[in-house]
Copies of this chain bind each other. A is one copy, B any other.
Amino acid sequence: MTITNKQIHLVKRPSGEPTLDCFALVQEPLAEPLPGQVQVKNEFLSLDPYMRGRMDDAKSYAQPQALNAVFQGATAGEVIASNHPGFKPGDKIAGNFGLGWQTHATVDAKAIRKVDVSRVPLSYYVGLLGMPGATAWYGTTKILDPQAGQTLVVTAATGAVGGVVGQLAKSKGARVVGIAGGAAKCDYAVRELGFDACVDYKAADWKEALKAATPNGIDRVFENVGGEIFDAILGRMNAFGRIAVCGLISGYNGKALPLNNVRSILTNKLMVQGFIISDHLELWAQAHKELADLVVAGKLKYRESITEGVENAPKAFLGLLRGENFGKQVVKL
């Protein structure tokens, strides 16, 4: 019996903020696995801010998403048929790319890896134990290396990446200040994640609040947002500060991200490092092992925002770009 595969295709490139009509639901029969291939039922799909960049037909770190094809993205799921000796039906797997916004996929075995769901839920493999977790770990430990007593600021503080960054930095003895949108998120960052403070950038007095929360200036920054918030942070940096630039979500819809406090880079002898975690695949296994151990030991909290149904992925994605998610945005397929 042929399986029907529900897919979301990109059918139009956005100009500015994307709209629902950029996407279309397409149904097609699932291909039988050729030799070396595996058939997968996707259970969880990751929605990530970087996907906005792929909607444009422009030079970026990620190749543009092809039009009228299934939107690429990381998923976790289960093998339903295998034509490769390394996989058998029932195996839980995850794949970073190639599986995409669809209920099923027939892929080469090298596109997936088996995962252990005895300690953590399967969905974690598209977040904490996927690209976002590796990103948080790499930026925090390999670029920022926060020291006890230093002040670290993380933007998008309750997102898939930011929440992990702040907790890792706390474990190293840093004072951690989050920046997030809304009182509920800020409350969560402080009460649940253990941040020392969190600034609500939607509040009118956010600049004053940032100043109050960083009385000794800022030594380390994990930057996900860009724009006015990044500029305010630059203005409060201490000498020899470091900034890991992981994302600039406030500019993803084509808005300019002007910076006025560039002078701080010179006067404070800052190191600003842009990075993309796919350049550091050799460290993912180490990152994921450390993060899994922490979460199992109860030393790392991880929150998901789960939307049901592949047909609702576009709407959830647009919400993610507006900061409406609270924790890692996942679609349960």
Q: Is the CB of A265 within 8 A of B269?
A: no
- Of the stretches A17-25, A147-155, A250-258, A315-323, the one at the interface is A250-258
Q: Is the CB of B267 within 8 A of A59?
A: yes
Report Cα–Cα, A162/B145, bound state, in Å.
Answer: 33
Q: Which of B59, B61, B247, B266 contacts A61 (CB 8 A)?
A: B266
Measured between beta carbons, the chain B residues less than 8 angstroms from A266 are: 61, 245-248, 274, 276
Nearest-neighbor residue (CB-CB) of A61 within chain B: B267
Q: Is the CB of B259 within 8 A of A61?
A: no
Shortest Cβ distance from residue A49 to the other chain B in the assembled complex, whole angstroms: 11
Q: Is the CB of B61 within 8 A of A262?
A: no
Copies in the complex: 2
Name the interface residues of A235-278: CB closer than 8 Å to any CB of B.
Answer: 239, 245-248, 251, 256-260, 262-263, 265-276
Q: Which of A's residues lie within 8 Å of B, judged by CB?
A: 53, 59-61, 226, 230, 239, 245-248, 251, 256-260, 262-263, 265-276, 279
Q: Is the CB of B279 within 8 A of A269?
A: yes
Q: A245-B265, A248-B262 are in contact. List 15 more A-B contacts (CB 8 A).
A: A59-B267, A60-B267, A61-B239, A61-B266, A248-B263, A251-B263, A258-B258, A258-B259, A258-B262, A266-B274, A267-B274, A269-B276, A270-B272, A271-B272, A272-B273
Shortest Cβ distance from residue A59 to the other chain B in the assembled complex, whole angstroms: 7
Q: Is the CB of B271 within 8 A of A273?
A: yes
What are 11 residue pairs bridging A and B, where the CB atoms are less than 8 Å apart in the complex? A230-B262, A248-B266, A251-B262, A251-B263, A257-B262, A257-B263, A258-B262, A268-B274, A269-B279, A270-B273, A271-B274
Shortest Cβ distance from residue A283 to the other chain B in the assembled complex, whole angstroms: 15
Measured between beta carbons, the chain B residues less than 8 angstroms from A246 are: 266
Report Cα–Cα, A139/B59, bound state, in Å.
Answer: 29
Measured between beta carbons, the chain B residues less than 8 angstroms from A247 are: 266
Report Cα–Cα, A41/B18, bound state, in Å.
Answer: 70
Measured between beta carbons, the chain B residues less than 8 angstroms from A276 are: 266, 269
